């Protein structure tokens, strides 16, 4: 099988697939149009986020048997068209679930205990104790939306902090020793921390908006390591200003490019987040550890080998 690699990833992908007699070609620089013009020559493609695999692309790939994304989200692929054409879709959420879960907990601890703020103050000769009194995770009810790989890994860690973890998911009967499944209404009634672990699709686009926030009974901390467009930023900023949202931990932003390489635009809402003590913002790195890079690649290799050797 002939496979085209469109993004740089861990070298084990190349090493291990070559050892299984796959034919590999790399193209990390050609444009969308250039890739479309030659994609019919390949049986498979391995991507991260650089090129959108839309209807036109997929129809040009007349011999494609699989698309493998080194990551979890598949929104860059026209899934209905791929399925109609019989192209197998492969992703690797198992590979970075642990790094995402640790990032969630890390951001919450930093935000709730004012660690960056207090550290910067001390480094500048300011010694404030009462003003930097923290807020404990212990005993808080954490609501997760989505209980796949990322949600489960996050629940396991928060359970260890003594949190009461509840979650809502579209699939039934997912409760385990770390978290209890509830209706969305029950989650809104009880959660003091809200964390998203969902894909981006028609149902989840701008899921967190003014209406959703108003339906949360408690003031709450908010965490998003899923996709930026799961959240209407203006409505989140309004809630931060009003105090309904006590603080926000954002690894993803509505204003990111589809390739996640940089921000598309700047505006007053983004500037508020970047300058507010109530927000922590990181550059889409929750699943981006040294360990996850290798694990993501290994999952992809294993799935390709299992499916096509």
Q: What is the pLDDT of residues 46-60, one digit of tens each?
A: 999 889 999 999 999
In the numeric block, the tokens 């919450």 are attached to 108
For position 194, what pLDDT does the model report?
99
Same domain (yes/no): 100, 83: no
Same domain (yes/no): 234, 112: yes
Same domain (yes/no): 149, 76: no
| Number of structural domains the chain divides into | 2
Give me the torsion for CA of 176, 106, 197, 303, rounded to 10°: -80
- Report if residue 179 sits inside a domain: yes
Mean pLDDT of the chain: 96
* Spatial separation of the C-alpha atoms in residues 146 and 253, rounded to whole Å: 18
Same domain (yes/no): 108, 185: yes
Same domain (yes/no): 121, 74: no
Same domain (yes/no): 107, 84: no
* Spatial separation of the C-alpha atoms in residues 253 and 263, rounded to whole Å: 8
What sign does the dihedral 286-290-291-292 (CA atoms) show?
positive
Is the predicted pLDDT of residue 259 greater than 90, yes or no? no
Q: Are 90 and 67 in contact (CB under 8 A)?
A: yes
- Report if residue 108 sits inside a domain: yes
Same domain (yes/no): 206, 264: yes
- Report if residue 286 sits inside a domain: no
Same domain (yes/no): 118, 153: yes
- Report if residue 161 sits inside a domain: yes
Share of the chain above pLDDT 70, in %: 100
Residue 171's domain is classified under what CATH number? 3.40.50.720
Same domain (yes/no): 101, 157: yes
Same domain (yes/no): 79, 139: no
For position 263, what pLDDT does the model report?
84
Share of the chain above pLDDT 90, in %: 94
Mind telling me the catalytic residues? 227, 256, 284
Plot region of 30 (φ>0 → left; ψ -120 to 50 → alpha; else → beta) = beta
Q: Are 107 and 249 in contact (CB under 8 A)?
A: yes
The parent domain of residue 30 ranges over 2-91
* Spatial separation of the C-alpha atoms in residues 56 and 179, rounded to whole Å: 42
Greatest extent of the chain over all pairs of C-alpha atoms, in Å: 66
């Amino acid at each position: 099988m002939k496979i085209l690699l469109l993004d740089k990833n861990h070298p084990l992908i190349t090493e291990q697939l070559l050892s299984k007699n796959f034919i590999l070609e790399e193209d990390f620089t050609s444009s969308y149009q250039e890739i479309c013009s030659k994609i019919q020559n390949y049986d498979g493609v391995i991507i991260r986020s650089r090129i959108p695999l839309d209807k036109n692309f997929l129809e040009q790939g007349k011999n494609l048997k699989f698309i493998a994304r080194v990551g979890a989200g598949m929104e860059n692929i026209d899934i209905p068209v791929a399925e109609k054409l019989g192209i197998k879709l492969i992703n690797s959420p198992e590979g970075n679930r642990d790094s995402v879960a640790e990032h969630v907990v890390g951001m919450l601890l930093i935000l709730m205990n004012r660690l960056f703020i207090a550290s910067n103050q001390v480094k500048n000769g300011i010694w404030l104790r009462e003003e930097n009194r923290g807020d404990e995770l212990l005993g808080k009810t954490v609501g997760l939306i989505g209980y796949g790989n990322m949600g489960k890994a996050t629940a396991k860690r928060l359970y260890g902090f003594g949190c009461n973890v509840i979650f809502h998911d579209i699939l039934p009967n997912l409760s385990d020793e770390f978290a209890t499944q509830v209706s969305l209404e029950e989650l809104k009634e009880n959660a003091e921390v809200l964390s998203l672990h969902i894909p981006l699709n028609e149902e989840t686009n701008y899921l967190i908006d003014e209406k959703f926030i108003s339906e949360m009974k408690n003031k709450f901390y908010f965490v998003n390591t899923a996709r930026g467009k799961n959240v209407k930023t203006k409505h989140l900023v309004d809630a931060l200003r009003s105090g309904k949202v006590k603080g926000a931990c954002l690894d993803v932003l509505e204003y990111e490019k589809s390739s996640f390489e940089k921000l598309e635009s700047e505006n007053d809402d983004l500037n508020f987040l970047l300058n507010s003590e109530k927000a922590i913002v990181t550059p889409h790195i929750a699943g981006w550890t040294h360990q996850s890079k290798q694990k993501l690649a290994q999952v992809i290799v294993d799935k390709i080998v299992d499916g096509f050797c």
